[in-house]
Amino acid sequence: MALVFDQSMSDYIFPVAVIGGGSAGVMAVLRTVLNNDETLFFPGSAQDKKRSRALWVAKVENVPGHLGYKKGIEQPNRESLQWLSEGPQKDKLHWKKNIGITSVKKDDDGVFTLIDSKGESWRAKYVILATGVMDVQPVINGSIEEIFPYANAQTADYCLRCDGHHVLGKKTAVIGHTNGAAWVAVMLYERYKTPKMSVLTHNQKSEINGDVLDLCKKYGIEIIEGEIVSVMGKDNGKTLEGFQLADGTVHEYEWSFVSLGMIVYNELAKSLNCELDDRGFVIGDGKGMTSVEGCYVAGDLRANVKKQIYTAWDTAVDSADAINAKLRSQARATS
């Protein structure tokens, strides 16, 4: 259902704008367009995409139907968008390829004004924020470049639920210094009985304490303090052999997990004064409505949801359907 609020494109108010091109953003677009709602879609600029979590995900093994893709998020997303752009509802999709949003504000009339990365202005009745998160990378010798080959080859993993099964039968290290990192080590050990499990605090003093410290001792999980100065491996990251520390010691591992926290891309939400939790995730109600009327949040950006493809889809569908219900109600009242 395309609602024409103004015939001038400079003042035209689109029913929905979706910001973010990951799993949540693409599902939000898929659902809004299939709901027959005219949709502005900003997947992000080249710079936005470089800092996207989706960029670093290769194989997706815990979602049915994704095993055949070399890039387990990007390729199926492109297929869906291409199908929409060529289908019977293609006129409902306004896909602004390689363009992101730099600012968004809610005007006095309740409509959102968005400024894109090319400086153009757009207006929308409803907005779905799906700008996502990124995992904090270990800085080694002043750079995060050293971990990238292993992240790309997935011998350095980040998501326990997505990739924990990789450690089966492998000597494994978790990089981190908090109780959260220790719990990752404990859970991996308990599930897969790894032949060796360690926590490398990487030049940070260990903050591991309480019950999880007791479990580390019980399972023989060594907590090693010291700066990582080299990641050892071969085959462009496909084979991890271990880590060398600043004191010269070498610790052999076949797999690793990084547990240093997340960067939450909440800049647009903050500019709208959306309510955030203490970690910076955006709080939404059961349908993803934020504390700002008309602004919804979906995917990893949303507080209190699993950071998974399937939960991103679920939150996106909830938001898209809630917006459609409001649009239909408004149209019904004026018909």
Tokens of 177: 């210094």
pTM of the predicted model as reported, rounded to 2 decimal places: 0.93
The per-residue pLDDT for 34 is 98
Mean pLDDT of the chain: 94
Taking only the tens of pLDDT, the chain with its 335 residues reads 344 444 345 589 999 999 999 999 999 999 999 999 999 999 999 888 878 877 777 789 999 999 999 889 999 999 999 999 999 999 999 999 999 999 999 999 999 999 999 999 999 999 999 999 999 999 999 999 999 999 989 999 999 999 999 999 999 999 999 999 999 999 999 999 999 999 999 999 999 999 999 999 999 999 999 999 999 999 999 999 999 999 999 999 999 999 999 999 999 999 999 999 999 999 999 999 999 999 999 999 999 999 999 999 999 999 999 999 999 999 999 98
pLDDT (tens digit, 9 = 90+) per residue, 237-264? 999 999 999 999 999 999 999 999 999 9
Give me the sign of the Cα torsion angle 66, 310, 112, 39: positive
The per-residue pLDDT for 10 is 57
Q: d(Cα 208, Cα 10) in Å, to the nearest integer?
A: 56
The per-residue pLDDT for 3 is 42
Return the number of other C-beta atoms located less than 10 Å from residue 182's C-beta.
27
Helix (H) or strand (E) holding 287: none
Nearest-5° angle of CA 237, CA 238, CA 240? 70
Nearest-5° angle of CA 69, CA 149, CA 171? 95
Length of the chain: 335
Q: d(Cα 225, Cα 215) in Å, to the nearest integer?
A: 18
pLDDT (tens digit, 9 = 90+) per residue, 13-62? 999 999 999 999 999 999 999 999 999 999 999 888 878 877 777 789 99
Q: DSSP 3-state assignment of 223? A: strand
The per-residue pLDDT for 47 is 87
Beta carbons of 219 and 168 less than 8 angstroms apart? no
The per-residue pLDDT for 5 is 40
| Residue 289, φ and ψ in degrees, nearest 5 | -65, 130
